[in-house]
Chain A
């Protein structure tokens, strides 16, 4: 069955924009890792280290994963005077510290604790 070329183009555009509309209406559209689709701020829950993002603060991690900031500073040999509770993780990234390494450390810490 032949499809008119302009109808074909209309199908492309409709198929492209409909999911966006449905996602937006259903609260499943978010372009930020800081908010979910309904606009609710995302926090570190301690459930899975994959949730940890660079924009999260040391206090967020401390609260979510029940670990003191001092413990993190010691584990990664961070300059204590530069680390504050409201400092974001990505601000402290270096060769010895990164979000990836923090995730790994927290996973190991959790698996080794009783």
Chain B
């Protein structure tokens, strides 16, 4: 089924429900791949354990934030890794930085398994009628907390040589449940999962230090979502309503805010073809969402 849009719009701007589902399901497939991958790693590690003569990597080996936490020690000690980190963590951290520079926060929107899990729970919560909106003022204040987490985790690891964030990391509690048992990180995990039923991606929005870091790096990204003033019918606000991160897309021409995770849901939701991904060209004068 094809739906034509505003008079004067070009052919390429006509939306197709088939195309909508293509990108939508492509994203689902990619997200599912990474969830299944880390699940496989976690299950294998839980079954084999630490004592076995056969080594299998643990899910912590695939944590990019672990690479960031250990970066200071790695650099200052001439190549030593802090506990629970390896070359894989460092490489993945570098990978996340590269992805952020090229595609802004797409790691969060397309790859991160923990973000995907929250998204799935959010969809379930919406179907069950549990979805709630956080008051704007409270939401604005809470969004800053993830930067506090970032500073704490960074400084803590640099000073102590230990991943202080690991003690409350819900991702670690989830993927290493057999090892962690019931700890403070488990409490954080349960709260996050429960909150996900009511609020979209609560950990991503309010507490994820990696997301905070990616958002900061993403300001340097060459590609961002842009809105065409000519094609946009701001009254529909379908983009604003579809955004899982609660970004007010209609407020600016270019979505440069660190809150945007580049999931492209807004791009696909727009019936006017007014949103698109664009590579920035100089000079860039557009006012960004703050």
A positions within 8 Å CB-CB of B: 1-3, 5-6, 8-9, 11-13, 15-16, 18-20, 23, 28-34, 36-37, 48, 50-51, 53-55, 99-100
Contact = CB atoms under 8 A, between A and B. Distances in A.
Contacts of A34: 55
A8 B95 contact: no
Interface residues of B, number: 45
Given A5-B23, A30-B87, A33-B86, 14 more contacts: A3-B278, A5-B267, A5-B277, A9-B110, A12-B102, A13-B30, A15-B98, A16-B107, A28-B87, A29-B91, A31-B58, A31-B62, A48-B78, A100-B162
B99 interface: yes
Contacts of A9: 23, 26-27, 30, 110
A9 B62 CA distance: 21
Interface in B69-88: 73, 77-78, 80-88
B279 interface: yes
B161 A50 contact: yes
Contact of B81 (A12, A28, A33, A54): A33
B39 interface: no
A20 B91 contact: yes
Contacts of B30: 9, 13
B138 to A, nearest CB: 32
Nearest to B160: A100
A11 B103 contact: yes
B94 interface: yes
10 contacts: A2-B277, A5-B23, A5-B277, A6-B23, A9-B26, A9-B110, A11-B223, A19-B91, A28-B87, A32-B86
A61 to B, nearest CB: 15
Contacts of A5: 23, 264, 267-268, 276-277
Contact of A11 (B91, B102, B161, B276): B102
A19 B94 contact: yes
B99 A12 contact: yes
Contact of B111 (A12, A29, A32, A36): A12
